Amino acid sequence: MKYVNRFRIMPGSKVRLKDIDPGFKDHHENHKQAAEEIEQGQKKLRSLQDLLYADRRCSLLICLQGMDAGGKDGTISHFLSAMNPQGCRVTGFKQPSVEEQAHDFLWRIHPAVPPKGEVAIFNRSHYEDVLVVRVHNLVPEAVWSRRYDQINAFEEELNESNTHVLKFYLHISKHEQLTRFKERLEDPTKQWKISESDYKERTFWDDYMAAYEDVLSRCSTKHAPWFVIPSDHKWFRNLAIARIVVEYLEGLEMKFPAPSVDLEQIRREYHAAREG
């Protein structure tokens, strides 16, 4: 089964995250066994990004969501190591600014949508407005409950303008999150990532799981699918997401455009210059 189908949430499905194993790692036992496949995926990503950039008929938006320490930064690092920065941009969506709060919740999203030929990666996204906003009662339920349909309409509009949207929920266990928090405490190079809210937010774990289940159930559509990626193993997370993106881009039937110059004339000029 293709990865693009294996982890995809089909439209209309009722998602129960406790039934999905965050430690799943397919047929590979460890990172070493998967290393060659991961490297091949990197090469395919780069060549397909080049094709997307040259074809310039569509763009790709990748949305990453997950609990703290779920691996959003690591996933982005993995992608950027394979891609040409000229055609890839990353936007992180944190707590809205005063100016952003003065507009509708999608206002800050529009400028970050990728133009034709480019890839954009969202570290968190417009879904924060039905996740953290819901869990912490930042707006009334009557407000955030309408946003599912508004988000679906927004993503359908993007699709109609040839921006393809792929959304990944990085599924880690509560135990794995705690392990990663401990690593941050002990590693001086990661201590800067620690925030006061890390452990406080863990007390809302069940509320977040319920909020994510509604997002995945209500907002995985044909034009903008959600994928639940088992992410307790960082290497498998990277492998799975890369394979999905590769399979999806290969299905777009992109092609390099025809030359805009007279190649024969340029060849004649080249040979004449060599002989001269």
Mean pLDDT, range 243-268, rounded to an integer: 91
In whole angstroms, what is the distance from residue 23 CA to residue 230 CA? 6
Identify which of 144-148, 185-189, 195-199 has the greatest average pLDDT: 144-148
**Amino acid of residue 12:** G
Domain-wise residue ranges, the chain? 3-275
The predicted-structure confidence for 147-184, as pLDDT tens digits, reads as follows 999 999 999 999 999 999 999 999 999 999 999 999 98
Query: Are 127 and 151 a contacting pair, CB within 8 Å?
Result: yes
Q: What torsion, rounded to 10 degrees, do the Cα atoms 186, 189, 192, 198 define?
A: -40
Mean pLDDT, range 241-258, rounded to an integer: 95
Work out whether strand 119-123 and strand 88-92 pair parallel, antiparallel, or are unpaired: parallel
The predicted-structure confidence for 101-142, as pLDDT tens digits, reads as follows 999 999 999 999 999 999 999 999 999 999 999 999 999 999
Q: For domain 3-275, give the fold.
A: Rossmann fold (3.40.50)
Phi and psi angles of residue 192, each rounded to the nearest 5 degrees, phi first: -65, -20
Quote the pTM value: 0.95
DSSP string covering the chain, please?
--HHHHSEE-TT----GGGS-TT--TT--SHHHHHHHHHHHHHHHHHHHHHHHHH-S-EEEEEEEESTTSSHHHHHHHHHTTS-GGGEEEEE--SPPHHHHTS-TTTTTGGGSPPTT-EEEEES-GGGGGTHHHHTT-S-HHHHTTHHHHHHHHHHHHHHTTEEEEEEEEE--HHHHHHHHHHHHH-TTTGGG--THHHHHHTTHHHHHHHHHHHHHHH--SSS-EEEEE-SSHHHHHHHHHHHHHHHHHTT---PPPPSS-HHHHHHHHHHHHH-
The whole-number pLDDT of residue 263 equals 81
In whole angstroms, what is the distance from residue 132 CA to residue 208 CA? 8
CA distances from 130 to 21, 96, 147 (A): 24, 14, 7
In this predicted structure, the answer to whether residue 1 has a pLDDT above a threshold of 70 is no
Mean pLDDT, range 196-225, rounded to an integer: 94
The predicted-structure confidence for 20-47, as pLDDT tens digits, reads as follows 999 999 999 999 999 999 999 999 999 9
Averaged pLDDT score across all residues of the chain: 95
